[in-house]
Structure 1
Amino acid sequence: MSETILKIQGLRVAYGGIKAVKGIDLEVNKGELVTLIGANGAGKTTTLKAITGTLPPCSVEGVISYKGQSLKDAKSFELVQRKLAMVPEGRGVFTRMSIQENLMMGAYTRDDKAGIDADVEKWYTVFPRLKERSAAMAGTLSGGEQQMLAMARALMSHPDLLLLDEPSMGLSPIMVEKIFEVIRDVSKQGITILLVEQNAKLALQAAHRGYVMDSGAVIMSGNADDMLHDPRVKAAYLGE
Structure 2
Amino acid sequence: MSETILKVAGLKVAYGGIKAVKGVDLEVRRGELVTLIGANGAGKTTTLKAITGTLPPCKVDGTISYLGQPLAGKQSFRLVEQKLAMVPEGRGVFTRMTIHENLLMGAYTRRDQAGIDADIEKWYAVFPRLKERSAQLAGTLSGGEQQMLAMARALMCHPTLLLLDEPSMGLSPIMVEKIFEVIRDVSRQGITILLVEQNAKLALQAAHRGYVMDSGAVTMTGNARDMLDDPRVQAAYLGE
Band the TM-score falls in, shorter-chain normalisation: over 0.9
Cα shift at 1:21: 0.3
Residue identity matched to 1:203 = A
Q: Tell me the SS of whatever aligns to 1:72.
A: coil
Deviations 1:185-218 (A, max 9, x none): 0000000000000000000000000000000000
Q: 2:180 — aligned with what?
A: 180
Q: Tell me the SS of whatever aligns to 1:134.
A: coil
Residue identity matched to 1:124 = Y
Cα shift at 1:97: 0.3
Q: 1:65 — aligned with what?
A: 65
Distance across 2 between alignment mates of 1:184 and 1:86? 16
1:90 aligns with 2:67: no
Q: Tell me the SS of whatever aligns to 1:204.
A: helix
Distance across 2 between alignment mates of 1:21 and 1:223? 23
Q: 1:140 — aligned with what?
A: 140
Gaps in structure 2 of 5+ consecutive residues: none
Distance across 2 between alignment mates of 1:66 and 1:222? 21
Cα shift at 1:38: 0.1
Distance across 2 between alignment mates of 1:77 and 1:145? 24
Q: 1:25 — aligned with what?
A: 25
Residue identity matched to 1:96 = R
When the two structures are aligned, how many residues end up with a matched partner? 240
Gaps in structure 1 of 5+ consecutive residues: none
Cα shift at 1:57: 0.2
Q: TM-score, normalised on structure 2?
A: 1.00
Q: Tell me the SS of whatever aligns to 2:150.
A: helix
Distance across 2 between alignment mates of 1:40 and 1:124? 33
Distance across 2 between alignment mates of 1:78 and 1:139? 25
Distance across 2 between alignment mates of 1:7 and 1:175? 32
Q: Tell me the SS of whatever aligns to 1:64.
A: strand
Q: 1:215 — aligned with what?
A: 215
Distance across 1 between alignment mates of 2:104 and 2:77? 16
Deviations 1:61-113 (A, max 9, x none): 00000000000000001000010000000000000000000000000000001
Q: 1:75 — aligned with what?
A: 75
Q: 1:56 — aligned with what?
A: 56
Cα shift at 1:127: 0.1
Distance across 1 between alignment mates of 2:95 and 2:217? 35
Q: Tell me the SS of whatever aligns to 1:159.
A: coil
Q: Tell me the SS of whatever aligns to 1:81.
A: helix
Aligned-pair RMSD on alpha carbons?
0.2
Distance across 1 between alignment mates of 2:202 and 2:77? 31
Q: 1:156 — aligned with what?
A: 156
Residue identity matched to 2:173 = P
Q: Which runs of 4+ in 1 moved over 2 A?
A: none
Residue identity matched to 1:185 = D
Cα shift at 1:148: 0.1
Q: 1:206 — aligned with what?
A: 206
Q: Tell me the SS of whatever aligns to 1:13.
A: strand
Cα shift at 1:226: 0.1
Distance across 2 between alignment mates of 1:229 and 1:94? 40
Q: 1:115 — aligned with what?
A: 115
Residue identity matched to 2:145 = E
